[in-house]
Amino acid sequence: MSVIPETHRDLLDRPLYAHLATIRPDGTPQVNPMWFSWDGEFVYFTNTTVRQKYRNVTAHPDVALSINDPDQPYRYLEVRGTVDRIDDDSSGAVFAALADRYGLPMDGPPGDVEHRIVYVVRPTRVSRQ
């Protein structure tokens, strides 16, 4: 059973930006707006193995994300969870699907495709307004 309340699932279904927070090696947070998708159980983010966020996630798999409703700015969903696994995306397929979801279809794979991976996040707790 999903911890995501029905009242806020639209924020995961819409192509909004999620601010993904990870923990740096020194214990301080790092937050970036990112594309994502949601399948009703997991939240998926694409990234690369050469960025700081990858080093953060591999050392500390606990993450948080927040999404606010652009139509009602005080309405938001915060999701805390764990990166269950990191999948390979060296084909760029997940990146291309996300680009399409966000209205930026790709003519080919991104330039960093050989380093592409996908964070598969299992939501464990939420807060909302």
User: Mean pLDDT over all residues of the chain?
Assistant: 95
Q: Where are the domains of the chain?
A: 6-128
Superfamily of domain 6-128: Electron Transport, Fmn-binding Protein; Chain A (2.30.110.10)
Query: Would residue 91 be called left, alpha or beta, if left means φ above 0 and alpha means ψ between -120 and 50 degrees?
Result: alpha
- Percent of the chain past pLDDT 90, that is, above it, reads 91
Question: What are the structure tokens assigned to 37, written together?
Answer: 């998708």
- Spatial distance between the Cα atoms of 114 and 59, rounded to a whole number of angstroms: 22
Question: Residue 111: which pLDDT band, with cuts at 50, 70 and 90?
Answer: confident
Question: Residue 107: which pLDDT band, with cuts at 50, 70 and 90?
Answer: confident
Question: What are the structure tokens assigned to 19, written together?
Answer: 């601010």
Handedness of CA 33, 37, 41, 42 (dihedral sign): negative
- Spatial distance between the Cα atoms of 107 and 121, rounded to a whole number of angstroms: 28
**What is the per-residue pLDDT across 1-48, written as a single tens digit (0 to 9) for each?**
589 999 999 999 999 999 999 999 999 999 999 999 999 999 999 999
